[in-house]
Structure 1
Amino acid sequence: MNPKIDDLEQYRKEVREVCDTYHQAPMRDEYVFCTDEKTGIQALEHARPAKPMKAGSPEKREQEYIRHGTTGLIASRDVQTGEIVAPMIRPTRKEKDFVEHIENVVAQDPEASYVFVVDQLNTHQSESLVRFVADQCGIPQGSLGKKGHSGILKTKKTRKKFLKDKSHRIQFVYTPKHCSWLNQIECWFSILCRDLINPRASFTSIDDLAYRLAQYIEYYNQHLAKPFHWTFKGRPLQV
């Protein structure tokens, strides 16, 4: 909750923008999503079956486990409904992976307007993402310039400015650096860890882990999804 702040006024402005996006979401005539990646989800299998609890004795688990590797999850959470949309379960989170996820979200209602709350990871300000937004908004690709040399694509700063443009049908709102806790998807990742990826869980393979992740998300959307009551307004919390 105490990030390194270089420009306090800019920091406060960015925090307020994120919080205002959440508070205004129910009144917006557009989709508002919180998007991020959860990497390094381990498929750990307990080496031996747990001994069930009985009267006067808690459940006992063997401390040894078998590693089956890791996978990752790219997900978007609908701020207005709480549902997890277009989840992608795969080990990589490269530029093309993130753009593919955004494409999948937008494809569910191609003519609608979208706001995505994301952190400042470089893949969230990429050339591919700019080109996708430009294509969706009818902006000629030739007007974007060249990455590293000119125009909108020149630097992360110019690409970020383009992606934040409120006049676009697809817009991105960025949390300040080291403030990913402002992204509601992080709250949901915490729920996912408590419910599924916890010390009691045992996965026999990467495929088993991926299957159970997908099943959990489907169950969550059907029975548990609801909007968060976001009370933080950008002001420092008082003790």
Structure 2
Amino acid sequence: MPGTAAKVRVSERQWAILQELSRSRTVAKGIGQRALILVRGVQGLLNDQIALEVELNRQQVGVWRRRWHEAWDSLCVWECTEPHRLREAILAVLADAPRSGSPGKVTAEQVAQILAVACESPKLSGRPIARWTHRELRDEVVKRKIVDSLSVAQVGRYLKQSALQPHRSKMWLNTTEKNPETFEREAATVCQTYLDAPRKAAADGVHTVSVDEATSLQALERNAPDKPVQPGSVAKQEFEYTRHGTTTLTAGLDVVTGQILSPTLEATRTEAEFVDHIARTVNQDSTGEWIFIADNLNTHASESLVRWVAKQCGDDDPLGKKRSRDSRVHEIAT
């Protein structure tokens, strides 16, 4: 008679990490498979049902449920004392048990040092690259005598196990607002505007549009037409091109529908051109209500734009002084 399956208990944070690991394409297959076993266990599936989905037998499913059950108390301690290392602790629970044989040549301390180098800029090591590659990282840790030798593949495995991707990067924007309370208040206003957009669109047909410019776009013309793809040959694009200067694309994104509104190509991005772009956008529904989200570029809060908005709203009151925080600009905007 089969025994009772170990109960899988999870906290909210543990549940989020297990779901992420079960869907991830970057973690090892076994880790994702075991995370899915636990996710399905939480959802109430039987071991036989889980086994069919993950392509294991029911005994193997039971092993990982029991391992989680036995480790859960210690995971809760990790979550309370060092929450930033909870993912690492869960990965340790889902990892293969130590195998018999000679111990690995690279110690845990050496692995930690390798990962620390991966988190540094290559420029600190005098390397003329912007981001680490596995080979460059291997060469650097050998040069620093952290290890005597190491394969490029092993470097990749260490990075993958630690969810580090030094070869990738994302853009971010540093705020110029020095007062954290002011920044938090203004950021909350912008975020709330995005969150309110679907409700306002459904209730009153309000258009919420995020608008900005992409500047210095090169207008290039290829000197010969592309050659189409053929059996055994990919499509070919002419290497030589003629420059036709640069252009600026101004466009708005309807944050509810995802539609691009009034895309405009201009040679520059002047105050008058931005007002014309807003006017063309509003004319698509001249009787509707519009909310525009823009950054703090001076043309986005120009006197011309404020006067145009005031005219559309039928507001003949004095606008106040330019750049004044108490001027009519903010009253009209609200």
- Determine if contact 2:219/2:245 at 8 Å carries over to the other structure: yes
The 1:23–1:134 alpha-carbon spacing in structure 2 relative to 1, beyond 3 Å, is same
Task: Return the structure number with greater relative CO, CA threshold 8 A, min gap 6.
Answer: 1
- Determine if contact 2:303/2:322 at 8 Å carries over to the other structure: no
Query: What is the match of residue 182 of structure 2?
Result: 10
Q: How many residues of Structure 1 are paired with residues of Structure 2 in the alignment? A: 158
Structure number with larger C-alpha Rg: 2
Query: What is the match of residue 34 of structure 1?
Result: 210
Q: Quote how far apart the aligned CAs of 1:14 are.
A: 1.7
Distance 1:163 1:80 in 2: 26
Query: What is the match of residue 194 of structure 2?
Result: 22
- Determine if contact 1:32/1:115 at 8 Å carries over to the other structure: yes
- Determine if contact 1:53/1:60 at 8 Å carries over to the other structure: yes
Distance 2:225 2:181 in 1: 55
The 1:157–1:121 alpha-carbon spacing in structure 2 relative to 1, beyond 3 Å, is farther
Structural mapping, 1:1-239, within 5 Å: 1-5=172-176, 6-28=178-200, 29=204, 30-50=206-226, 58-140=234-316, 143-144=318-319, 152=320, 154-158=321-325, 162-165=328-331, 168=332, 171=333
User: SS of the counterpart of 1:108?
Assistant: helix
The 1:10–1:61 alpha-carbon spacing in structure 2 relative to 1, beyond 3 Å, is same
Q: Quote how far apart the aligned CAs of 1:51 are.
A: 5.3
Q: Which has the larger helix fraction?
A: 2
Query: What is the match of residue 28 of structure 2?
Result: none
Distance 2:210 2:173 in 1: 22
User: SS of the counterpart of 1:80?
Assistant: coil
**TM, length-normalised to structure 1:** 0.57
- Determine if contact 1:71/1:90 at 8 Å carries over to the other structure: yes
Q: Which amino acid aligns with 2:323?
A: K
RMSD, matched Cα:
2.5
Residues 97-132 of structure 1, C-alpha deviation per residue, up to 9 Å, x if partnerless? 111111122222223222100011111111111111
Q: Quote how far apart the aligned CAs of 1:71 are.
A: 2.3
**Which structure 1 segments of 5+ residues have no match?**
145-151, 173-239
* More displaced stretch, 16-25 vs 104-113: 104-113
Identity over aligned pairs, percent: 42
Distance 2:235 2:313 in 1: 56
Q: Which amino acid aligns with 2:278?
A: I
- Determine if contact 2:210/2:255 at 8 Å carries over to the other structure: yes
The 1:110–1:2 alpha-carbon spacing in structure 2 relative to 1, beyond 3 Å, is closer
